[in-house]
Amino acid sequence: MTLAASGIETSDKEAELLVTHCLGTGLVDLYKINPSLNDKQIIDIDEMARRRCRREPLQYILGYSYFLGLKILVGSGVLIPRPETELMAEHAIKICRGGVIPHLKGTILDLCTGTGCLALALAREFPDSHVLGTDISETALRFAVNNALINGIDNVSFIKGHLFGPLSGRDYPAPTFDLIISNPPYIKTDDINTLQPEIRDWEPIGALDGGADGLNFYRKIILQAGKFLKTNGILMLELGLGCADETVYMMKGAGYEDVELRKDYAGIERIIQGKWTN
């Protein structure tokens, strides 16, 4: 079965990526030099193509993705970084440079860190700050630690636990953080079966499932974040489709000021932020 027959819309492009990955060459050289394939390379390409025909995500097959120029290792048990999350990282960098992090030396918390892509992008941008990522998944944290190593970023650390749970010790007295950011699970439980097979059948359900209405994690984060934010600190969250109105209501009700929404490239309200002034 071919990639196209398996329902993969960008089959030609993905076939090129599989071949260049296996050969360790670029796309220009692939067509310019037209290298011959040895038996092992043919077998490897065939196996990768078979995996992709089963709708395993291309990033899992390659073993990596990219996030704002960072090479991010990915694999079974960890969520693949999305362009929408890149957009949130870019916005977070902008507001931090605008004064959220005094003198660009501060503390940032990334909840549900997964591969660590958000934490690492912020840590790279602000090397004099310290960034902390938390996640309940040991698998995700192994990826996050390795991603910090391969990208040479040392002002970030990762600890295991659910949301703010691991912060109760003396190492993180409240209030601690200038920015708390998160891309939490936000897919409605009943909607998971409607997702693309690459997501539904391969990516970890725990990183997707936001409960019956998709808002479970927002409720917990919004209610608890104020205890850990410095005065004028920012809470920023990535939003699922249709979550905007309710999260605005929750943030304002919890005491956040200057609550704002920002749209993604598709015009969907994807990012919410609020300032903690208490």
Mean pLDDT calculated for residue range 229-245: 94
Verify that 102 and 200 share a domain, yes or no.
yes
Residue 90: is its pLDDT beyond 70? yes
Question: pLDDT tens for residues 3-48?
Answer: 887 888 888 888 888 888 887 776 666 666 676 778 787 888 888 8
| 54-66 pLDDT per residue, tens | 999 999 999 999 9
Beta bridge partners of 113: none
- Residue 115 is part of which domain span? 77-276
The pLDDT score that the predictor gives to residue 251 is: 97
Q: What percent of the chain has pLDDT over 70?
A: 94
pLDDT at 13: 85
- Distance in angstroms (rounded) separating the CA atoms of residues 45 and 169: 49
CATH of residue 84 = 3.40.50.150
Residue pair 148/120 in contact by the 8 Å Cβ criterion:
yes
Instruction: Output the CA angle 262-203-50, nearest 5 degrees.
Output: 125
Residues 152 and 252 in one domain: yes
Q: What is the average per-residue pLDDT within 74-103?
A: 92
Give CA angle at 59 (143, 68), nearest 5°: 70
Of the candidate ranges 80-89, 103-112, 125-134, 171-180, the one whose mean pLDDT is the lowest = 171-180
* Sequence letter at residue 165: G
Closest to 189 (Cα-Cα) out of 216, 221, 161: 216
Residues in the chain: 278
**Co-location of 127 and 259 in the same domain:** yes
Using the 8-state DSSP alphabet, how is residue 210 labeled? -
pLDDT at 33: 66
Structural contact between residues 180 and 109, judged by C-beta atoms closer than 8 angstroms: yes
Please indicate, yes or no, whether residues 174 and 222 belong to a single structural domain of this protein: yes
Q: Are residues 47 and 143 in the same domain?
A: no
Q: How far apart are CA 171 and CA 70, in angstroms?
A: 29
Instruction: Tell whether 30 and 161 lie within a shared domain.
Output: no
Which among 46, 81, 78 has a CA at the least distance from the CA of 66?
81
| Same-domain check for residues 103 and 197 | yes
Residue 73 DSSP class: E
Residue 167 maps to a domain: yes
Model confidence at 260, pLDDT cuts 50, 70, 90, reads very high
Q: How confident is the model at residue 181 (pLDDT cuts 50, 70, 90)?
A: very high
Q: What pLDDT was estimated at residue 32?
A: 65
**Gyration radius of the chain's alpha carbons:** 20
155 and 46 part of one domain: no
The pLDDT assigned to 16 comes to: 80
Residue 128 belongs to some domain of the structure? yes
Q: Is residue 59 part of a domain?
A: no
Helix and strand element counts for the chain (H, E): 10, 9
pTM: 0.91
Mean per-residue pLDDT over the chain, rounded? 91
Query: Residues 176, 227: contact at Cβ < 8 Å?
Result: no
DSSP H helices in 154-215: 197-200
CA distance 73 to 193: 26
Stretch 258-268: mean pLDDT, rounded? 94
Is residue 93 domain-resident?
A: yes
| Count of domains observed in the chain | 2
Q: According to the model, what pLDDT value does residue 26 have?
A: 66
Res 247: pLDDT: 96
In whole angstroms, give the CA distance from residue 263 to residue 65.
Answer: 23
CB count, 10 Å around CB of 265? 9
Q: Report yes or no on 64 lying in a domain.
A: no
In this structure, the answer to whether residues 49 and 87 fall within a common structural domain is no
List pLDDT tens digits, range 137-179: 999 999 999 999 999 999 999 999 999 998 876 667 667 899 9
When pLDDT is cut at 50, 70 and 90, the band that residue 101 belongs to is confident
Give the C-alpha separation, 133 to 120, whole Å.
9
Dist. CA 73–CA 115, nearest whole Å:
7
What pLDDT is stored for residue 173 in this prediction? 67
